[in-house]
Amino acid sequence: ARERERGVPLFPRAFFWLVSLLLASLIWFISVQLSDRENAKLQYGLLVFGAAVSVLLQEAFRFAYFKLLKKADEGLAMISEDGRSPISLRQMAYVSGLSFGIISGAFSFVNVLADSVGPGTVGIHGDSPYYFITSAFLTMALVLLHTFWGVIFFDACERRRYWCLGLVVASHLLASGL
Amino acid sequence: MLTFMNNSDSEEEPCNERTSLMSAESPPVPSYQDGLQASEAGEAQAHRKRRTGSSRSPNNVADGDMSDSSVPVRESASENEEEELTLKYGAKHVIMLFVPVTLCMIVVVATIKSVRFYTEKNGQLIYTPFSEDTPSVGQRLLNSVLNTIIMISVIVVMTVFLVLLYKYRCYKFIHGWLILSSLMLLFLFTYIYLGEVLKTYNVAMDYPTLFLVIWNFGAVGMICIHWKGPLQLQQAYLIMISALMALVFIKYLPEWSAWVILGAISIYDLMAVLCPKGPLRMLVETAQERNEPIFPALIYSSAMMWTVGMAKPDTAARGPSQQTWDAAEDGRENHRNPSHADSRMSEARGPVPTRPITSFEELEEEERGVKLGLGDFIFYSVLVGKAAATASGDWNTTLACFVAILIGLCLTLLLLAVFKKALPALPISITFGLVFYFSTDNLVRPFMDTLASHQLYI
């Protein structure tokens, strides 16, 4: 039961990610509606802009979640019998990073997966035939990255090392931009 | 098909009552002194691990196990520890409820995605007579609103009828009704479901085998739900019938009507449980006043076994049911040592001498688990199933709705731990689910699609 209790923060975290995604896509949608539809380059630029906005929002929500967990942790620590909280901060960081990663990976990948089960040939229009496998690898990498970012982020906030925060955000942007 | 649907009006009734989420502890009823004493004893025994003994209310001095002098000192400590226990119980209950809700949704989504029968439009229920095939948007909206009004009024009438029956102690009638409806669910709907699944996977099955399978399934289900049975089997059956009912709803409710109905029923749930004259609240209160469990066919209970008879005044009958309860508790909660549970029961036997023992048993049992009405299961699954069936964004939308509903359930459980009385489980989850469904379908989907096609990961 102890192990299962540790998994409980998983879902609120996913929820936070979803909300951030929602806001980002709202911004993107509005910007697309307002802009010119024909220009492909502009569309791509807008897409990148939307992605950047969503990255920033994700980090903001990660921070918000960290604050929430901190508060809950303090509450638990105050009233537990041996003065410590039952869930250590490192475990919480791991779980939250993992859940962020899971939900973002799931969202990015599950449609591709569903399509892959159906009939069709990959890359018939001249795209690379390795679309599926690269998508799979990229998603895995992203999930791991999110987990690591979660841990680093929480650690940085704990010790108030703000340059670490900046590093995380920058690397997130960089990874998305590649 | 339409005549078949006419018989299903008996199903509507069980769906409606199953929409309240009840707290794990019944509030102490002041007119019932033994109950109060028993609940005090029960709660004190629960905290026995921490301290030697104290009580929540300082005016309970008749308890043999408590020491008066330690009562005021322990007050503040006890409240903090109770909060922590609440939180701990909260986390455990959350997990205990997540699993069945998730299972139900998985079954529904899997069926919707694979069996095409449930997404074809083959007519409508008699409760939603207005069709949605009209050309104009306004007409369609009007029709769906009218459908909703009819459906909700049917549900209200049935609920009030059931509460009246319960109030006037027409137990036989209620039991007969419930048995009839679960009979129909277990046999008829399962037959149709099995038929469709076999058709989809092109598996041949002869009638005798089919008859045998369905007969066994249905008979064991009836016994499990209405009488005694292993707890996990009962839970599995309840999940199955919720999923079947949800599938029926998904198939036979027209599109817009379904969404409007979901919204309206969460508002109705809110009112029925929280308003003082609401039918569901009266049902729960009456059941608690009489210290009887609400019918097992309507409620999913996460951690207890139901004793059959209402009044068992002799200790001999109490003995075996106690043992089964202990066995269940030992099996379920392995982080509490079994000796603790045993000592709890033996100590508790002290302060409550002879009188209504079943009430004490039930109070103790109710401490352990959380009860969720089956209607909640059904409507959560309807939401997720509809998202899976009709959304063009397929899995993203389904996932988003799933997470939203679970978060709503978390929040509701949190509120339950704070308020400690029966709460409606539908409104928060359904609101989140609806918001996320519509926003994900319209906003997030194009975003994610274009991102994925450019292989841009965020």
A47-99 residue pLDDT tens: 777 767 777 777 777 777 777 777 777 766 666 555 555 556 666 677 777 77
Measured in whole angstroms, the distance separating CA A167 from the mean position of its chain's CA atoms is 16
pLDDT mean across residues, chain A: 67
Instruction: Determine what percent of chain A is predicted with pLDDT higher than 90.
Output: 0
B-chain residues near A28 (CB < 8 A): 447
Please provide the size of chain A in residues: 178
Asked if the Cβ–Cβ distance from B451 to A108 is below 8 Å, we say: yes
- Catalytic residue at B376? yes
User: What value of ipTM does the predicted structure carry?
Assistant: 0.74
- Is B448 an interface residue toward A (CB < 8 Å)? yes
C-beta neighbour count of B67 within 10 angstroms: 13
- Is B196 an interface residue toward A (CB < 8 Å)? no
> What contacts 24+ positions apart, CB below 8 Å, involve B109-114?
B109/B384, B109/B385, B109/B388, B109/B398, B111/B193, B111/B197, B111/B243, B111/B247, B112/B247, B112/B250, B112/B385, B112/B388, B112/B389, B113/B388, B114/B200
Q: What is the DSSP string of B166-225?
A: HHTT-HHHHHHHHHHHHHHIIIIIHHHHHHHHHHHHT----HHHHHHHHHHHHHHHHHHH
Report the predicted TM-score, pTM, of the whole model to 2 decimal places.
Answer: 0.69
Specify the DSSP element, H or E, that contains B74: helix B70-114
pLDDT confidence of residue B212: 92
C-beta neighbour count of A36 within 10 angstroms: 9
- Is B79 an interface residue toward A (CB < 8 Å)? no
B95 vs A119: which has the higher pLDDT: B95
Rounded to whole angstroms, the maximal C-alpha distance in chain A is 64
User: What residues form DSSP beta bridges with B373?
Assistant: B299
| A164: confidence class by pLDDT, cuts 50, 70, 90 | low
List, as ranges, residues 35-64 from A with C-beta within 8 Å of B.
44, 47-48, 50-51, 54-55, 58
Question: Tokens 């006419």 appear where?
Answer: B6
Query: B323: buried, middle or exposed (CB in 10 Å: 19+, 13-18, 0-12)?
Result: exposed
pLDDT along chain B (458 residues), means of 10: 37 42 39 38 37 37 42 54 60 76 89 78 70 77 86 87 83 84 86 87 88 90 84 87 88 83 88 80 81 73 48 37 38 38 41 41 48 85 87 74 84 80 83 85 73 61
- Catalytic residue at B68? no
- Is A175 an interface residue toward B (CB < 8 Å)? yes
- Is B429 an interface residue toward A (CB < 8 Å)? no
Nearest partner of B449 among A83, A58, A162, A108, judged by Cα: A108
Asked if the Cβ–Cβ distance from A2 to B335 is below 8 Å, we say: yes
Which SS3 state, helix, strand or coil, does residue B423 take?
strand
Asked if the Cβ–Cβ distance from A51 to B451 is below 8 Å, we say: yes
For A132, which residue in chain B has the nearest alpha carbon? B455
Pairing status of strand B299-301 against strand B371-373:
antiparallel
For A136, which residue in chain B has the nearest alpha carbon? B455
pLDDT confidence of residue A174: 65
Choosing from B68, B314, B342, B376, which is the catalytic residue? B376
For B444, which residue in chain A has the nearest alpha carbon? A25
* Nearest CB neighbour to B410, from listed A5, A12, A103: A12
| A36: confidence class by pLDDT, cuts 50, 70, 90 | low
φ, ψ of residue B394 to 5 degrees: the values are 45, -110
| Separation of alpha carbons B425 and B411, rounded Å | 9
Asked if the Cβ–Cβ distance from A114 to B80 is below 8 Å, we say: no
pLDDT confidence of residue B317: 36
Chain A with chain B: Cβ pairs closer than 8 A: 115
| Separation of alpha carbons B225 and B222, rounded Å | 5
Asked if the Cβ–Cβ distance from B452 to A108 is below 8 Å, we say: yes
φ, ψ of residue B20 to 5 degrees: the values are -125, 145
What is the average pLDDT across A107-120?
64
- Is A68 an interface residue toward B (CB < 8 Å)? no
* Nearest CB neighbour to A47, from listed B404, B436, B450: B450
List, as ranges, residues 104-163 from A with C-beta within 8 Å of B.
104, 106-108, 110-114, 131, 134-135, 138-139, 142
- Is B277 an interface residue toward A (CB < 8 Å)? no
A-chain residues near B400 (CB < 8 A): 18
Choosing from B34, B63, B269, B441, which is the catalytic residue? B269
CA distance readout (Å), A123 to A31, A116, A128: 30, 12, 5
Pairing status of strand B423-424 against strand B299-301:
unpaired
Rounded to whole angstroms, the maximal C-alpha distance in chain B is 77
Measured in whole angstroms, the distance separating CA B267 from the mean position of its chain's CA atoms is 17
Specify the DSSP element, H or E, that contains B40: helix B33-46
CA distance readout (Å), B232 to B97, B99, B302, B369, B404: 13, 12, 9, 14, 26
